[in-house]
Amino acid sequence: MIQPMQHLWAPWRMEFIKAPKPSGCFFCEAAAADPSNDATHLVLARAELTLVILNRYPYNNGHLMVAPNAHLADLEDLPAGTANELTALTQRSLRVLREVLAPQGFNLGINAGKVAGAGVADHVHQHVVPRWEGDTNFMPVVAQAKVLNESLTKSYRELRAGFDRLA
């Protein structure tokens, strides 16, 4: 017996599809913004030379990006102090994600260049993607859709509290 087609509604994606693409760099905008506006920019934590941002279009719940404040395209262009701080803030991000979301693993990576998949090719950033057993399924392959289980607003609130606790 053929099952009726099911529909997965994701109305929040239409905003992304129809929205004009920003002309500036959202990492630079977030770095330059007053910390009182961190929620607007989804900034979870700041260090002297780097910051952590919740990905607005995540691969998985809790998908973070750690980036330098300086607009530099390549990892090898980071001064040693910035590279060290990026690593330290990535480590802190892992600790916070483990405490708040209890993932069973992570994907960590830098897409260096547009041909390597970088959505923002001119501002280097490290992706931190929490993973759980069974979080992959047929939806991305068959339906070209990723199901996220939590809203960005809720993820931001919980993760920001975690970063504040584990300062």
- Give the residue numbers annotated as catalytic, written as ranges: 125
State the sign of the Cα–Cα–Cα–Cα dihedral 103, 155, 57, 117: negative
CB 96 within 8 A of CB 90: no
CB 108 within 8 A of CB 66: no
Task: Decide: helix, strand or coil at residue 48.
Answer: coil
**What is the Cα–Cα distance from 167 to 85, expressed in whole angstroms?**
14
DSSP state of 142: I
Q: Which of 31, 124, 25, 29 is nearest to 78 (CA)?
A: 124
Task: Decide: helix, strand or coil at residue 65.
Answer: strand
- Give the helix, strand, coil percentages of the chain, each rounded to 5: 40, 15, 45
